[in-house]
Amino acid sequence: MDEIIQTIAVYALPVIFAITLHEAAHAYAARYFGDSTAYMQGRMSLNPIKHIDPFGTLIIPAILYIATSGAFLFGYAKPVPIDFGNLRKPKRDMAWVALAGPGANFVMALLWMIFAIALGLGGVEEPFFLRMAQAGVLSNLVMFAFNLFPIPPLDGGRVLTSILPNRWAYKFAQIEPYGFFIVMGLVLMKVLYFWMAPVMLIAHEALKLILFPLTIFLS
DSSP H or E segment with residue 4: helix 2-32
How does pLDDT run across 184-204, given as a tens digit for each residue?
A: 888 878 888 899 999 999 999
What integer pLDDT is reported at residue 64 of this predicted model? 63
Provide the pLDDT confidence category of residue 125 given band limits of 50, 70 and 90: confident
What integer pLDDT is reported at residue 19 of this predicted model? 87
Using CA atoms, how far residue 164 sits from 19, 76, 92, 150, 168, in Å, is: 28, 27, 10, 12, 6
Are the CB atoms for 134 and 165 separated by under 8 Å?
A: no
Per-domain boundaries in the chain: 2-218
pTM, entire model = 0.90
Mean pLDDT of 19-29: 92
Provide the pLDDT confidence category of residue 208 given band limits of 50, 70 and 90: very high
Report the distance separating Cα 116 and Cα 199, nearest Å: 22
CA-CA-CA-CA torsion for 133, 21, 193, 59, nearest 10 degrees? 90
How does pLDDT run across 34-43, given as a tens digit for each residue?
A: 999 998 988 8
Are the CB atoms for 200 and 144 separated by under 8 Å?
A: yes
